[in-house]
Amino acid sequence: MNAILPRLPVLLLALGAGAWAAESVPRPPDRIIELPPMTITDTIDAVPWLYVSVGDTEFLSRCSREITREFITTQLEIHHTLRDVIPPEFLATTAIPRVFLLLPIEHSNIRDDAVLRAMVADASRPTPRGVIPFDDKHSKPSLFERVLFLPNQRLEDRDTMAAFTFLKESNFASDRMIVAPDYVRSLLARRTPMLPQWLIEGLTLLYQQTIIRAGPAAVVPGNWISPEDTVGLRNSPDNRRVLLSCEELFAVDALIGPDHQHPTREIVWRLQAALFVRWALDHANTRGSDVLWKLADRVSREPMTEKILIEYFGLGYSDLLERLSDYLPNAVKYSAGLSLKPTPDLLLFEITPATKFQIARLRGEWERLEIPFVRAHHPKFLPHYIDRARLTFRRAIALGGRDPQFLASFGLCELDAGDIPAALPSLEAAMAAKVFRPRVYFEVARLRMDALARHTPKDQQFSPGQLQPILEPLHTAIGQSPPLPEVYILAMDAWLRCQEPTPPGELTMLVEAAPLFRRHPGFALRLALLQIKNGQRTAAAATLTTGLQFLGEPSARSRYQQALAGLAAPTATP
């Protein structure tokens, strides 16, 4: 029929392996257009949606009850094991439930030709300049043939996450499911206080190498920078060992700057980060995995230094490099055992038929999250995704849906679609209903700040009364989980434009939040500016100096250095 369908079994096989993320699916050729899955053709109304709420996840499934139960049970198991390998305190948490959509591949149509034809027709319409984008007339296959709906995908928002999976029920094998590596990376990257990049990469790669579902948990032999290097090291420990110094491995600018971006260096850095984590967790080398976790906690709040390494491992950077080098031939040749705690009883859950509002809210949430993705990657297809999401929400509204979470999702949907006037009432309504959704409060505050600042000079100062409608939702967002850096930054921006000094309690609250976002390039700078505005020049210098230690990006470092230089310069006498 076309070039896509023959690949379908491969994609489904990947799905069977439990990969959540699109990146775990074999990548199609470059010219393939990967679009998020759509559940638009409800031709199987006879198959009911099932709903499960367990732990921090809401599931919406059209698979059979048995498969749904098995899938969810396995999900709970593998997420439990993930938290056994990586202690939960190093993974991001959110009070907002994750959304998980589960559909059987047999009853679905991941490539609805009718829909696709319509989308392609729209996308191929001449642009105002008369150029037909996408479809190169002289190339094969055509745009229609090149479009592929991904069979599974995970999408994120600032405060939540949703996943979509097509499942082949006839050969579903739950024991092949794992937590997708990019999800692990995301959980580590969103953790506050923020973890250093080397630790995020190291733990993610290590988790990929961990077998946890068959027999005792173990880390399988890893690979090194090329198949030749891996085989060479397996055959002889005297083989060459391509490495980075530990100074570079732990540096904030390990991969930043022209001298640090060679592909070989990049891959060495990633693999060496994993090697260090593996070495540190291997009881044969250290006094136990606790040492690594203590170090991880420390370096989430402080920049990694040789002194800290010595404190925890009794080794300097050069000692560690030598240990890692000598460990490398073992790591590519042998498995390393991990001692995990026995799995406790899993949470019980009940499978119920989904209500129309549950279906609309969870589907709508997924479809809403598709909008930023399609806008970023394939904007020509955006209108169809926006229309689909709006249709889902509006159907439910027509049926009387007024749940605060639903309103929040709808408001954010309109916001992501670019219709602020349509978004604001829903967001305000969700806020009034005290919805637990920090992004809602942030967006309302941001929109209010934009409105206040519009048509005013940049240096215009506002009274506390004018800023109160902005700060109030931000205070609510600060009290919610997960903590979002943009919430604090907007609060600091607001106080920077206030005619009055910042109340001490407010400033203290912002200073106390700084350790959560040490690696955020704008946080410490804003805080320092606010401290300067409030006459705390010494504290501002300390904030900048500390912040600088966590930054590798040259432009960000330059801004900090300029601010520090400004502080060092003598102040003008009024």
Partner 1 sequence: MSRRHLIFLLLLAGACLPFARGAPTPFEKFVTNLYRPWQAEQVALSPDGEHLAYTRHEAGNLVIEIMTVSRPAPKFKIIADDDQPVLFAKELRPAYLRFLAWASPTRLVFAPVPKADALTSITAVNRDGTAPMTLAAPDDFAVTVTFAPPGVGGRERLTQRSIHIVGFAPGHRETLLIHALGTAPMPYATDVPTTLVAIDVTTGKKTELAEETNYGRYLPHPGGNLHLLYSQPRYATTRIFELKKPGFWDRWITLDEAWGGPLTKAFKVTPENYHGERAFPLGFDVDPDLLYYASNVGRDTYGIYALDVRKKQRTPFAVEEPHVDLALPEPGDPSPLVFDPITSQLVGVRGVGVAPFTRWIDPEFATLQQDLEKKFPQRTVELLQWDDARRRLLLRVTGGIEPGRYHVFQRPENVMVEVLRSAPWLRNADLHRGTTFAFDTPGGAHLTGYLTFPSKPRINPPPLLIDFSDGVMGSAQPGFHRQAQVLAELGFIVARVNHRGMSGFGLAHRNAFRDGGDRVPVDDALAAINWIAGHHAIDRKRMATFGRGLGGYLALRALQLEPDVFRCAVAIDAPLAPALWLMPPLEDLGPGSQADAADYKILLSSRPPPPIDFAQEVRRAFLLGGSAKLTSVLSHVETLTKPVMLIVNRPEDDPIALQNAFLRAKLSRQGLDPELLQTANPFAADLPLERAKTFRRIGEFFNLNLYDYGVKVGPTKEIK
Q: Name the residues that contact partner 1, by CB under 8 A.
A: 226, 228-229, 231-233, 237-245, 247-248, 259-260, 262, 264-265, 268, 306, 316-319, 321-323, 325-326
Q: Smallest distance, Å, CB 233 to partner 1?
A: 8
CA distance 533 to 497: 10
Q: Kindly tell me which of 243 and 435 has the beta carbon lying closer to partner 1.
A: 243
CA distance 144 to 121: 9
Q: Kindly tell me which of 323 and 395 has the beta carbon lying closer to partner 1.
A: 323
Q: Kindly tell me which of 196 and 232 has the beta carbon lying closer to partner 1.
A: 232
* Chain CA centroid to CA 373, Å: 13
> Residue 573 phi/psi, 5° resolution?
-75, 125
Q: Kindly tell me which of 318 and 463 has the beta carbon lying closer to partner 1.
A: 318
Q: Are 57 and 98 in contact (CB under 8 A)?
A: yes
- DSSP conformational letter for 502: P
Q: Smallest distance, Å, CB 273 to partner 1?
A: 14
Alpha helices in 479-553 (DSSP H): 485-496, 504-513, 523-533, 537-549
Q: Are 462 and 449 in contact (CB under 8 A)?
A: no
Q: Kindly tell me which of 34 and 306 has the beta carbon lying closer to partner 1.
A: 306
Q: Kindly tell me which of 89 and 228 has the beta carbon lying closer to partner 1.
A: 228
Reference 184, options 211, 204, 199, 165; nearest CA is 204
Burial call 440-465: b when 16+ CB within 10 Å, e when fewer: bbbbbbbbbbeebbeeeeeeeebeee
CA distance 299 to 276: 15
Q: Smallest distance, Å, CB 86 to partner 1?
A: 27
Q: Smallest distance, Å, CB 271 to partner 1?
A: 11
Q: Smallest distance, Å, CB 557 to partner 1?
A: 18
Q: Smallest distance, Å, CB 237 to partner 1?
A: 7
CA distance 334 to 36: 39
> Residue 400 phi/psi, 5° resolution?
100, 15
Q: Smallest distance, Å, CB 158 to partner 1?
A: 35
Q: Kindly tell me which of 297 and 319 has the beta carbon lying closer to partner 1.
A: 319
Q: Smallest distance, Å, CB 236 to partner 1?
A: 9
Sign of the dihedral defined by the CA atoms of residues 162, 165, 169, 175, in that order? negative
Q: Kindly tell me which of 226 and 562 has the beta carbon lying closer to partner 1.
A: 226
Beta bridge partner(s), residue 321: none
Alpha helices in 335-403 (DSSP H): 356-377, 382-398
- Through-space distance between the first and last CA atoms of the chain, rounded to whole angstroms: 79
Q: Kindly tell me which of 259 and 459 has the beta carbon lying closer to partner 1.
A: 259
Q: Smallest distance, Å, CB 238 to partner 1?
A: 6
Q: Smallest distance, Å, CB 243 to partner 1?
A: 5
CA distance 247 to 303: 12
CA distance 523 to 520: 6
Q: Kindly tell me which of 256 and 452 has the beta carbon lying closer to partner 1.
A: 256
Token reading at 53: 């709420």
Q: Are 52 and 58 in contact (CB under 8 A)?
A: yes
Q: Smallest distance, Å, CB 332 to partner 1?
A: 12
- Tokens 């704008």 belong to residue: 522
Q: Kindly tell me which of 156 and 266 has the beta carbon lying closer to partner 1.
A: 266
Mention every residue, 6+ apart, whose C-beta is less than 8 A from residue 363: 39, 60, 101, 392
Mention every residue, 6+ apart, whose C-beta is less than 8 A from residue 101: 39, 59, 60, 61, 162, 163, 164, 165, 362, 363, 366
Q: Kindly tell me which of 262 and 301 has the beta carbon lying closer to partner 1.
A: 262
Q: Smallest distance, Å, CB 259 to partner 1?
A: 5
Residue 365 CB: number of other CB atoms within 10 A? 31
